[in-house]
């Protein structure tokens, strides 16, 4: 079926109106009318082919919330009218060890990304949520609890789960000191979630101007990293550091914030490699790790945790026609803290 969308036709090109073909719902498929789609920093990286090979035309968007329009005859978990969501992938091999453990995001076979990828046949291109509708197998569709404005829920499908998953994996909770590096789309969710888990949260930012926002979001402390001696004054203080920065930066002073056996986890994805020294790690037996998103079960767990507690993203809703301006503002850090597309604007 033809679906109106916005696409980049080549690397770095402005996004323009585009008509894509969605499959008709199969026996186990859910067809969603897209209501809102968040804009992730990875959308910008991929539209500009900054992470390497990319597929064009590209319809970005993997923070999708909508209403179920149709379901296949074998679907049991969704009915027309239900609220549902789609995150960063729409299928996986389903048979590997990672998939069997509910860690589909680390699929050892073929992970079908929501866009800039291919379906399980490894031929059919996937198109994302800057579109009026999307069709996804029910096994990869999320239930969206009622209770929050849907525009605030959409970014949970990437920014929310990207920060929730490592906080859970490293057992962040009461009695722990957590530093969240960066206060953007990922960072502001990291602050909210770490505080909700009961940790003492400190934001590390290059800009002192973000302190008021950090405290409003739940941070107990703030470090302006460019001020002389600021990071050194907090050396060895933290149990866990969540690095959300997607721009090139020096991770070594951040590692020095950790206590003995502390862990720093990267969730931002700079386009250039980071240089990591050995001594910040080995002198205090620190761990440097990375974390992707979450599997389907963990993403559902995150939604069920966040929405009833009122934990949603802070957003600015835009029309799809303004997406390129939003990208430029995102590069400048001129958003608090996530742009979200109102899919109704696609009809204009």
Q: Stretch 178-186: mean pLDDT, rounded?
A: 97
For residue 120, the Cα-to-chain-centroid distance in whole angstroms is 22
Residue 270 has pLDDT above 90, yes or no: no
pLDDT band of 271, cuts 50, 70, 90: confident
Q: Stretch 225-248: mean pLDDT, rounded?
A: 96
Task: For the domain covering 162-290, report its CATH number.
Answer: 3.40.50.720
Residue 324 has pLDDT above 90, yes or no: yes
Q: 13-37, pLDDT tens digit by residue?
A: 999 999 999 999 999 999 999 999 9
CB atoms inside a 10 Å sphere around CB 207: 11
Least reliable range by pLDDT among 177-191, 266-280, 292-306: 266-280
Give pLDDT, residue 53.
85
Of 39, 3, 244, 245, the closest CA to residue 154 belongs to: 39
Give the torsion sign (CA, 6, 125, 166, 243). Answer: negative
Task: For the domain covering 2-158+294-347, report its CATH number.
Answer: 3.90.180.10
Q: 237-269, pLDDT tens digit by residue?
A: 999 999 999 889 999 999 999 999 999 999 998
pLDDT band of 52, cuts 50, 70, 90: confident
Rounded mean pLDDT of the chain? 97
**Distance in angstroms (rounded) separating the CA atoms of residues 271 and 224:** 24
Q: 280-310, pLDDT tens digit by residue?
A: 999 999 999 999 999 999 999 999 999 999 9
Q: Locate the domains of the chain by residue range.
A: 2-158+294-347, 162-290
Residue 333 has pLDDT above 90, yes or no: no
DSSP string, 179-236: EEE--SHHHHHHHHHHHHTT-EEEEEES-GGGHHHHHHHT-SEEEETTSTTTTGGGTT
Least reliable range by pLDDT among 115-119, 137-141, 185-189, 272-276: 272-276
Query: pTM for the whole thing?
Result: 0.96
Which residue did the predictor score with more confidence, 52 or 43? 43
Residue 130 has pLDDT above 90, yes or no: yes
Q: Six-digit token pair at 5? A: 């969308």
Give pLDDT, residue 348.
86
Same fold yes or no, 2-158+294-347 and 162-290: no
DSSP string, 271-335: SSPPP--SHHHHTTT-EEEE-----HHHHHHHHHHHGGGT----EEEEEGGGHHHHHHHHHHT-S
Q: Stretch 82-106: mean pLDDT, rounded?
A: 98
pLDDT band of 164, cuts 50, 70, 90: very high
Residue 178 has pLDDT above 90, yes or no: yes
* Alpha-carbon separation of residue 285 from 261, 276, 307, 330 (angstroms): 5, 14, 37, 36
* Alpha-carbon separation of residue 255 from 199, 211, 269, 317 (angstroms): 19, 22, 17, 36
């Amino acid at each position: 079926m033809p679906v109106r969308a916005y696409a980049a036709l080549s690397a770095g090109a402005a996004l323009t109106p585009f008509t894509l073909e969605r499959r008709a719902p199969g026996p186990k498929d859910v067809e969603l009318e897209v209501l809102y789609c968040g804009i992730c920093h990875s959308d910008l990286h991929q539209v500009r082919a900054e992470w390497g090979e990319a597929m064009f035309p590209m319809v970005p968007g993997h923070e999708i919330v909508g209403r179920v329009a149709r379901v296949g005859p074998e679907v049991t978990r969704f009915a027309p009218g239900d609220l549902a969501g789609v995150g960063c992938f729409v299928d996986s091999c389903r048979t590997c060890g990672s998939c069997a453990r509910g860690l589909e995001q680390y699929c050892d076979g073929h992970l079908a990304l929501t866009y800039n990828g291919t379906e399980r046949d490894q031929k059919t291109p996937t198109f994302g949520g800057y579109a009026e509708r999307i069709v996804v197998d029910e096994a990869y569709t999320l239930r969206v609890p009622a209770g929050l404005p849907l525009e605030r829920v959409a970014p949970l499908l990437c920014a929310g789960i990207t920060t929730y998953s490592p906080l859970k994996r490293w057992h962040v909770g009461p009695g722990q000191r957590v530093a969240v590096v960066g206060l953007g789309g990922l960072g502001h969710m990291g602050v909210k979630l770490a505080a909700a888990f009961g940790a003492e949260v400190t934001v590390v930012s290059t800009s002192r101007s973000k302190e008021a926002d950090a405290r409003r979001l739940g941070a107990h402390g703030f470090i302006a990293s460019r001020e002389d001696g600021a990071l050194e004054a907090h050396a060895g203080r933290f149990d866990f550091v969540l690095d959300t920065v997607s721009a090139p930066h020096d991770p070594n002073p951040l590692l020095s914030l950790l206590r003995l056996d502390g862990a720093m986890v990267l969730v931002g994805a700079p386009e250039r490699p980071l240089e990591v020294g050995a001594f910040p790690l080995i002198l205090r037996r620190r761990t440097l790790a990375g974390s992707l998103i979450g599997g389907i079960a963990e993403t559902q767990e995150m939604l069920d945790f966040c929405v009833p507690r009122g934990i949603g993203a802070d957003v600015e809703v835009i029309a799809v026609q303004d997406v390129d301006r939003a990208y430029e503002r995102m590069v400048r850090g001129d958003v608090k803290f996530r742009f979200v597309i109102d899919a109704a604007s696609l009809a204009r």
